[in-house]
Amino acid sequence: MNLDALKARAAAAVERERAALLDLSARIHAHPELCYDEYRAAGWLADYLESRGFAVERRAYGLPTAFAARLGSGRPQVAVLCEYDALPGIGHACGHNIIAAAGAGAGVALAAVIAETGGSVVVLGTPAEEGGGGKVRMGREGAFGDVDAAMMVHPAGLELAAMDVLAVSALEVEYRGRAAHASAAPHQGINALDGLVTAYQAIAQLRQHIRHTERLHGIITDGGQAPNIVPERAAGLFFVRAASEHRLAALKRRVEGCFHAGAVASGAEYQVRPVGDDYSEMWSNEPLVAAYRANLEPFGRTLDEAPGAAVSGSTDMGNVSKLVPSIHPMISIAPPHVALHTHEFAQYAASPEGDRAVVDGATVLAMTGIDVLCTPALRQAMAADFAQRKSTER
């Protein structure tokens, strides 16, 4: 079996689909939808894959905006993941329109050669990456049970074979006090906002004494109703991030101590609730990363591998990486100074640079998938790397 010939055919398939893929990316970008509300994006992607011969399961794994598009049969099986949710207020400032179109394109390119490679490909539509944990829920329902490799490509301001992924937990804290007239009878009130602000300040001070791989940030979602009423309710949402699930648990205990301090200082009652599932750190499978890196070279994209070249964030792809060998490379669409989750990055996600990333990303993912399908030695190395990670965690 000639791998180069198969990869050339996959690249040609992506080129044939160029117009359709760029149209998908543009439509999704122009119609941003928040987590678990991505009905149009999921529908457009499912329609596209169905029209290219995939058997598509909509509303897959109990999620209304998830899908699974399958072609081929048996093992090995390559999963290509699509994300398509946007961010509140700033649309596709994380470039998920590019992830979606590139993933669909990679799937169609693999479909063009699956009869020769054997095995199967599944394109998974994974909703709600921006805090909803769609992949976590899909994983619990068995979405990755027969998968040998899971892959996706994410746009950024750098070209990276692997993203620096932090484990993250979202915590909602609510304080309950007692309302009173803030001028006539302040002594009768218990100020819930004071409790929250005290906790916020304690967390700000805690930031001075955490590891460089840890992050704390939050917002006040309810600060009261009027200045002349002692706030009887206040609430906030906080993200806690760390380099591993183990360190995340330890840092969460310190943050919860800050919440408790706010209650003690103000006299308010408080409650802390987790928001969704925790996201894990990412186990980038090294043999699979090496295959992606080798396939990227002919595309004139130079990996940013200098010290300090990293994109730090969190993704539910980390949870997938603890189920099956996985990669989450970053493909450049913007200058390095343009950060994700900004209005400027959203503009690049609909730019010619973004379109190039759709085509290049689809092609490189498909080529890497061919390596997995056709190379038993690579699959063995991937499995060994994955087992070693599992053993180290235990």
Structure tokens at 262: 């706010």
pLDDT in tens, 233-290: 999 999 999 999 999 999 999 999 999 999 999 999 999 999 999 999 999 999 999 9
Burial label for 4, CB within 10 Å (0-12, 13-18, 19+), is: exposed
Residues with Cβ within 8 Å of residue 294, at least 6 apart in sequence: none
pLDDT value of position 309? 66
Number of domains forming the structure of the chain: 2
Note the pTM of the prediction, 2 decimals.
0.93
CATH code for the domain in which residue 180 is found: 3.30.70.360
pLDDT in tens, 21-73: 999 999 999 999 999 999 999 999 999 999 999 999 999 999 999 999 999 99
pLDDT in tens, 347-369: 999 999 999 999 999 999 999 99
Q: Is 385 found in the same domain as 339? A: yes
Cβ 45 vs Cβ 102: under 8 Å: no
Pair type for strands 330-332 and 154-156:
parallel
Q: Is 188 found in the same domain as 264? A: yes
Full residue range of the structural domain in which residue 142 is found:
3-165+281-393
Distance CA(277)–CA(160), nearest Å, equals 27
Q: Is 349 found in the same domain as 207? A: no
pLDDT in tens, 212-237: 999 999 999 999 999 999 999 999 99
Q: Is 304 found in the same domain as 240? A: no
Distance CA(111)–CA(72), nearest Å, equals 8
Q: Is 146 found in the same domain as 22? A: yes
Domain endpoint, select from 240, 255, 274: 274
